[in-house]
Structure 1
Amino acid sequence: MGKENSKLCALFVMCLMVIFVVPFSHGLTNGQDVYAINSLYIALGSPPLPGWVSTGGDPCAQGWQGVQCVGSNISTIVINGANLGGQLGDQLMNFSSIETIDLSNNQIGGSIPNNLPTTIKTFFLSANQFTGSIPDSLSTLTLLSAIDLSSNNLSGQLPHSLQSLSALTTLNIENNLFLGPVPEKMLSIPNFKRDGNPLNTTAASSPSPLTSPPSSSEGPTAPATPGKSANGPSSQDGSQSKRSRKSRKTILIVAFVAIGVIVCIVGVLLVAMLLIRCCEKQSKLESTTMRPETGGYKGTKEKPKGNNSLIEHTAEANKVPVSQEVVQKPMKESQIDTVRTENVSQKPSEQLEMDMARVGVIAPTPPAEKVTVNAIVPAELPRDLSLPTSFTVGSLQQYTNSFASENLIGVGMLGSVYRAELPDGQLLAVKKLDSSVPRDDESFLNLVSSISKLQHANVVKLVGYCVEHKQQLLVYEYCGGGTLNDILHSGDELNQKLTWNARIRLALGAARALEYLHEVCQPPVVHRNFKSANLLLDNELLAVRASDCGLAPLISSGSVRQLSGNILSSLGYGAPEFIQSGAYTLKSDVYSYGVVMLELLTGRKSHDSSRPRGEQHLARWATNHLHDIASLSRMVDPSLNGRYPEKSLSQFADIISTCIQSEPEFRPPMSDIVQNLLRMMPREPISGRSNRNSSSN
């Protein structure tokens, strides 16, 4: 009885410690970074980003969409093409260690903040709606190496202060409204892009400190005294004093929180010590009161009180080890979820007689007593699931170097993908699903089982999975040739390898992937995220495989569904019925496939905000040009240099036209598209103009 009370007391103490200590210790992310990202989220207008909240939260532990951390500090925020609005706000400087901010291809407006984190290295805000001028305060960001402010509405003159950034190697200000001359030293930046601005062609020499104009963002200034400009030490001292006040406030808040945590822990420990002492005293008192009963039992050998009582004691004494033996006996796998019955009389009779002899009597064997044991086991996997290889989190951390940034392949709406190298040199791709997507382990395992059944030459194969420590990861085969999006739009020599016949072959491989999902799989599988960035190539650029197949149940859930709708519509892949009503069918996949074919035909992006307004949305722009041979020839990717048969080009355009019909019922099934492309595949070198150039395929 005393031991049971001690256990209850210990359990009570542990509960108290959990109640008081856990609320103060669960947060992983630096509190200053949490405040900064909450402020950014509010300034952006609280968009539907998975995981993001306006107050509190734990971005590093909860895996907020587009957020990467190093330890407990936020190091990277990358959210492209998510249709974000609002402004950046004035709290970015509160990020303690952030190095990369990339919010390109959104609808963010306002001006660029004056106060940015001094740790920033990469700052990308291209294709947004920013106005005003570039703030002079950027000159204080000594670690800044890359800035992309292209395709905005920025104006004014280029600040001379940017010349002082020695680490700056990339500066892109294309397609803005900048005026005036280009500072002389700015021309020496290795990757400086300035087209699309009404700038003077002559370089401007750096002005002297006495005549430097005041920054437009600083408002009215007092008359400058000799030897001091309006942007001189006085304004810098003011900003430094403000920063020092904020840092003092932050230090005070952290100190108060730390003191509060220490006081709570000390209080809990004191209460625990008092409770343990009380429990010990109570157990001693109970053991003292029970001594006469135990002594009487030990003395039964000399003064037995009767056979019946002795038999009862013996039976009770023998029951305990038998029942323990039954409970602790290892169970076979086939017995885990069954109820077993053991018999006390299974104990050898010799051992039973020895136990009776210890109490000084020889008694008959007590009647058999059945002991029912309910096996308590952890939740097991459904028996009918066929699952691929199971990995541990530890092994995947080892293969990806703890999910290091250099192994990051890409970031999507469902999470991040990392390159993993096994000890034998085999490469794999690990998709770390965003923890903010709500799903339990059972539904995740059902999803893994479904994906593992997708076996096709043009579908990326799932080789394993991991579900451990509240993390869910998918392990795929690795495709080393990059994505079709990278090859088409990178602007390097890789694009030159995509001859006309190679493009037909890649279109055929992508069509076969959708044909398999739509018409072979039962029930049919909707892709829901079909785009050139999800088409992976081999090293020779000969074969294409569709990725993210079977993940539609994750995309169609909650906030991810809304985000996917925003991304698909902003990137130009969303079918009209999906954008208007949110309805997504197999025919919506066909529309997205038609947009990918347009990318292969034109070499253009599905949505390009740097182009004139009428040409930004590829499918809408191309619809009126696909049936006119003269317009069609002007649409073809310039990198082909006219090396294609006109008949084949016309057939390719006809397929695209049927795929991007506004009414879904007029779009063909994928099997028809596959047959049409097969007829276009050359069986012998093409004669005429294309013979000399397509023979390399």
Structure 2
Amino acid sequence: MDMLRVRMSSLLVVSLMVISSLPCSQGYTDEQDVFAINTLYVSLGAPLLPGWRIGGDPCLEAWQGVQCVNSNITAIILNAANLGGQLTNALGNFTSMITIDLSGNHIGGSIPENLPPTLRKFFLAGNQLNGSIPSSLSNLTLLTDMSLTNNILQGELPDAFQTLTGLVNLDLSFNNLSGKLPPSMASLLSLNTLHVQNNHISGTLNVLQDLPLGDLNVENNLFSGPIPQKLLTIPNFKKDGNPFNISSPPSPAPASSSLPPPGAPSSEASSSQNPEPPAKNRNSSTIRFIIYSAIAVASLFVALLLILVCVAKCPKTQKVELGRPKVPVDNEKLISQNNDSGRDVAKSNAEKEKEDEINKTMRGLHAMPSLDANVTENSGVPSDKIQTVTPEKQSPVSSFSIATLQQYTDSFGEENLISNVKLGKVYLAELSDGKLLTVLNIDNADSAMPTDEFLELVSILSGLRHPNVLELVGYCAEFGQRLLVYNHFSRRTLHDILHGGDNIKKKLSWNARVHIALGAARALEYLHEGCQSPVIHENFESACILVDDGLEIRISECGLAPLMVSDSAAQVRARSSYGAPEVSDSGSCTDKSDVYSFGVVMLELLTGHKPYDRSRPREEWHLVRWASSQLYDINALSRMVDTSIDGKFPMKSLSWFADIINRCIQQEPEFRPPMSQVVQDLSRMIEDARTNASTISSSSSEGEAKASEQL
């Protein structure tokens, strides 16, 4: 007890000393987010984390594990960081929090009632959390993924799932949860993965029978009664170690030598797994817990008071928007600036050395012509120029300044905005000679990838040269920004055509769709098998397929997976309707995962449906699940074809197309074909179409006719 008091007193003193040194200055990060993260820092025991300090500016100073969009904190990812302490209701003060991942630490206490309502991913696996799961979970209406596995949580599950209709993955395994599955779990209409194994949950599984589950694990619980027939069709259903009412005895739970009779909890098993401590020890533990909690609450209260006092006295200063630094775009003004000071602002010494090293290595190789006749090489101009950087043994790319790109994109104006993608925003840039470029402005890039790694990635991307891959021609790494510049191909994507009401959809005849599928397949084949080092796309979908007026295509976002931060690109794909099943299990993506995503895109071309569309009848919400069982039924297959084709397709070609889709969307990756095989099969389809051209309607439009000629 004395040691506990000393430890808590030390924490209180340290907290007060750190908070008292809080500088009274208004930073870049949102004030409410600063308050929330400082409170979290204190409640976790002020751990030694790079960049973290009371009174600091998390977004401006790039604190370890903290991610921001503009001035708002959107993610805290500190898994396996040896954190202790506990969480408090101050978590609910974050204004734009999307991801909290504190897995694999030593955090105790209970899960706070007050959580950020904007939260989408909540991972607290592998800690020492106790108490029950709060009913305020129902406030997290945007939640898609939650893992609380391997803690000491107890009590019944709250009946709070009715609003979590977007929840895809839920893991509550390896806890001490009890009671029955609440009725509100029937509202989890997007739930794909549910793990509740190794708890003490009882009752039946009836509430789960109408959910779109693909992975269900209820092993080693106290579930009873008959298993609903619908659950037996789930591809990955694990149920051993429960007293279900079935014809043959279930497999025994590993931790128990005997099973209770059906419908009755096993008190013997429960007592052996969770032995009750003597009354004296329980009383002593209760007293220690009360004292510990009181000291912690007092420490936190004093800390919060000091923060509030300091914030109230802080002078207000103007915020600076990091995502778009205020750089002059007038060339003459930039040229007249002092060269040394300009370079000091634009680049750190490390950045300059890295770019100088690349320039030296690549000097002497043939450089591409200047993209703008008005931009000339001048060593005295610090930023408003395009430096030619030629990666070794690869095609040259150019280094653009922020000022130049601002000038070409009308200061990244809304009129030049083409689209929003997972990595950031895409803008149209027009050079003075009329040449068009596409600029990808990557969000939160400064904290995501150091400059040297970014330049290495640029070097790799510059080597991707294929008729169906969007061509990189430049980049920008000034002022902590990360921008990639491509030759402009089209504003329109396949997703826009199929699902955006674009009139060009009427041009998408059967031949045109096969033509688009073949072009995309050739691009993926090149990435997987034609590059010196294989490139996995990891985010392949119809929105990545650019389509011009002649129905030619280019694939965008190739090789950009290393730029995906947050809790990894794999988790983005895991909750995506294009993601392969194994991605949510392994957390990694392979070439076979790309093949699965390609199969989903082929299904879009076939049906005209989105991969996930709740506006359709319930059985058609998930395109793969709805369509996969009908691909070998020729009558059902004919009814699935996009109505805009007007029935103008050869049945043999349709059947062949469906067969390729079926092989691409196999659940097991080893059963999916390589993209080279897909290209070969589609090419055979085209050859067959040429010999049976009379079965194809001759009433196609000009763009359709072009596609038919290639088929």
- TM value normalised by structure 1: 0.50
The answer to which structure has the higher helix fraction is 1
Higher Rg of the two aligned structures: 1
Q: Which has the higher contact order (CA 8 A, sep 6+)?
A: 1
